[in-house]
Amino acid sequence: MEKIELLAPAGNMEKLKMAVRYGADAVYLAGKGFGLRAYGGNFTAEEMKEAAAFVHERGRKMYVTVNIIPRNGDLEGLDEYLRFLQDIGADAALVSDLGVFQLARDVAPRLPLHVSTQASAANWRTVRAWKDLGASRVVLAREVSIAEMADIRRKVDIELEYFVHGAMCISWSGRCLLSNFFTGGKRQSNRGECIQACRFRYALVEETRPGQYWPIEEDSRGTYILNSKDLCLIDHIPELIRAGASSLKIEGRMKSVYYAAAVTAAYRQATDAYYAEGDRYRVRPAWRAELEKISHRPYTTGFALGDPGSAAQAYERSQPEQPYDFVGLVLDWDPDTKIAHIQQRNHFKTTETVECLSPGGDVFPLVIGKMTNADGQTVLSAPHPLEVVAMRTETPLSPYTILRRRAHGK
């Protein structure tokens, strides 16, 4: 059986490399234009070349988002950009607009095309139409259930990509105008500039009483009537595979390096276990526990099991929970000297106990021992951003192991 693809987000080069090291089969990213995450860091042309080389050397794939819903002015330079993606060996471009799709077929005929979820493909006839036009994959709308995907798979022989984890949009597959209205048209969600107005806290004001606000209360903290919970389908890997998904997609190009690594590792372990165990497969509590340790809002299965109604909305809060802090990244560990070099990502000090997450998904505690700085001086803490300290430890530490600790008060 050909294994399902695990597809991870890559908002910048560091996130891309960590996602690959933690088990992603493929990554998706954007250049500086034509994508739907204008503020996600994104890649220059030279960085994209480097990214393509990095993933291909490791037998992985790289997909590039070209999925804005463009206005006339957005088309300038698009033909050259598509040719560039073809020339650097991008494994596919994700598009949502029919005109962009047609342009890509004309100017970059060797560039495979995936249809973005922004195109809202939610039925088998639409998927078949995209296949007839030359698409090699369709990213299904988030509103499609697992059962509906299975029906699409029976009727159309094409790769299907399905979102399994991350933030969701309260609008139909991201087609939202709130950002346009709130900014007078200066920030448009369908052109990559969403301000996430659905995450704002709203109150009721009566026309003749300006300045008097009444909370739309669900509890003492108010309510966030447009907020969606975060998607999590770690418990439903077998159903997704049996329904015919070709790729399991993790949302989060604007999330942290820690998020990219930890979420990828959890889904890597889950999918590998399914193929290894078959009918003996069972969901491990440790996988869900890992996903509780990354920044997230309350989890939901979204539309995967059918229309969730109000259950997909989170009235408790707008901001995600951050239960753990990413404090350090292991650069190397010498088995002879027992010395590890650790790059600081948040303040940590000697004698405190942190938790390690390795690229293989192993989780274990580590006591911070004696440390020295770059000048060889003994230090009691690592307070400076990105400074590298040396620490002796008998515990073997794989390169790119993440050091984390429970956030204050969690």
370 CA to centre of own chain: 36
Residue 268: CB atoms within 10 Å:
20
What are 41-59's pLDDT values in tens digits?
689 999 999 999 999 999 9
- Which tokens sit at 92? 């596919």
The closest alpha carbon to 115, from 90, 140, 91, belongs to 140
Locus of tokens 């690592």: 382
Give the pLDDT score at 35.
64
Model confidence at 93: pLDDT above 60: yes
Give the pLDDT score at 311.
54
What are 106-118's pLDDT values in tens digits?
999 999 999 999 8
Q: First vs last Cα of the chain: how many Å apart?
A: 42
Give the lowest-confidence range in 96-105, 174-183, 309-318, 350-359: 309-318
Contact criterion met (CB below 8 Å) for 29 and 10:
yes
Indicate the pTM of the whole model: 0.88
The strand ranges marked E within 13-123 are 26-29, 61-66, 92-95, 113-115
Contact criterion met (CB below 8 Å) for 395 and 366:
yes
Q: Any idea what DSSP says for residue 236?
A: G
Model confidence at 189: pLDDT above 70: no
Residue 387: CB atoms within 10 Å:
13
Give the pLDDT score at 229.
85
Give the pLDDT score at 116.
95
| Mean pLDDT computed over every residue of the chain | 89
Model confidence at 125: pLDDT above 60: yes
Contact criterion met (CB below 8 Å) for 188 and 173:
no
| Positive or negative: CA dihedral 386, 390, 392, 394 | positive
Mean pLDDT across 334-357:
97
Contact criterion met (CB below 8 Å) for 33 and 279:
no
Give the pLDDT score at 211.
81
Give the pLDDT score at 121.
95
Q: Domains along the chain?
A: 5-173+227-312 (3.20.20.70), 324-406 (2.40.30.10)
Give the pLDDT score at 228.
78
Distance CA 90, CA 114 (A): 12
Model confidence at 268: pLDDT above 90: yes
What backbone torsions phi and psi does residue 232 show, to the nearest 5 degrees?
A: -150, 115
Distance CA 324, CA 306 (A): 32
Task: Name, in order, each residue with C-beta under 8 angstroms of 312's C-beta and a sequence gap of 6 or more.
Answer: 168, 228, 229, 300, 302, 303
